[in-house]
Amino acid sequence: MDIMERIPTHVEGLDENMQGGIPKGHICIVAGASGAMKSSVTFSMLYNAVLYGETSGIYVTLEQGKDSLRAHMSNMGMNVDDPRVRNRIAIIDLSDLRVQLDEQGMSNRVDWMGQLIKQLTNYRKSIGFELLVFDSLGAFFTLTKMENPRDEIFRLFEAVRRLELTSFFICEMTGENHRQFGEYGVEDYLSDGVIHLVMDRKEDDVQRKLGIIKMRHTRHALGYKPFNWKQEEQRFTVL
């Protein structure tokens, strides 16, 4: 018997092979190379979760500005102006953090992780959101020039656990044969789930594939399956 409450990903073909979804409260890594559709996949999960469920979420963007993110999702066919989406997904744009920091001349003196955790805690109390997307961990550490990312990741994950959020942390994977799911070598151990998006190249053809590397408390299919976006249905499908 499955006693876990689960959050469906709304990715067709994925939930069916994952006992219905991601256990509530899990911290998941969504890892992949540039352009692997990390932002699109996670945003679509949030988007469909608020359209088909009672939940709400926060999308923290550091990589890409809020307008660019909204334009991309709109181009994908998602209705970002739907009142339910507007009211239930807060996009928090931290992409100009570096500029703010430099203007104040205090980039090195602020406890940015502490500030971030405080913000998330406030939002949790005031708007009661349940889902969190953090896009991306790497961008946050680059912007804030944190000295000990490993300890800071630990601190962030602990805080997110205490807040009982179900979360997705986007991690870039660089280089051809990168086998590590996060940049700092601890993200995958500290998380409950790892979703890996790859662009599989055979000569001139490239196929997008998705693999669940781990998902605690879940019986899930292994292996990489091709996936694509169904524009009319506004969801991804794993073949």
Note whether 108 binds ligand ATP by CB under 6 A.
no
We find the least distance from the C-beta atom of residue 175 to ligand ATP, in angstroms, to be 14
**Residue numbers 34-63 binding Mg ion by CB under 5 A:** 39
* Cα dist from 144 to 2, 59, 62, 100, 113, whole Å: 41, 19, 11, 11, 9
- Using CB atoms, what's the residue nearest to Mg ion? 39
Using CB under 6 A as the binding rule, whether residue 80 contacts ligand ATP is answered as no
Alpha helices in the chain (DSSP H): 38-52, 66-75, 83-88, 97-104, 112-127, 137-144, 149-162, 187-190
DSSP string of 116-137? HHHHHHHHHHHH---EEEEE-H
CB 210 within 8 A of CB 196: yes
| Residue span binding ligand ATP (CB under 6 A) among the ranges 8-16, 29-37, 46-54, 154-162 | 29-37
User: Would you say 71 or 222 has its CB closer to ligand ATP?
Assistant: 71
d(Cα 106, Cα 108) in Å, to the nearest integer?
5
Kindly give the pairing relationship between strand 27-32 and strand 89-93: unpaired
Name which of residues 142 to 171 contact ligand ATP (CB under 6 A).
Answer: none
- Is beta strand 235-238 parallel, antiparallel or unpaired with respect to 224-230? antiparallel
CB of 132 or CB of 163, closer to ligand ATP:
132
Minimum distance from residue 138 beta carbon to ligand ATP (Å): 10
Site track 205-234 with ligand ATP (rule: CB under 6 A), x = hit? ------------------------x-x---
Q: Toward Mg ion, which CB reaches closer, 159 or 171?
A: 171
Taking CB under 6 A as the rule, does residue 75 contact ligand ATP? yes
Token pair for residue 74? 């709109």
Nearer to ligand ATP, 4 or 80 (CB): 80
Q: Which two three-digit tokens encode residue 66?
A: 């809020």
* 95 in contact with ligand ATP (CB under 6 A): no
Chain residues that interact with ligand ATP, rule: CB under 6 A:
32, 34-40, 63, 72, 75-76, 229, 231
Chain residues that interact with Mg ion, rule: CB under 5 A:
39
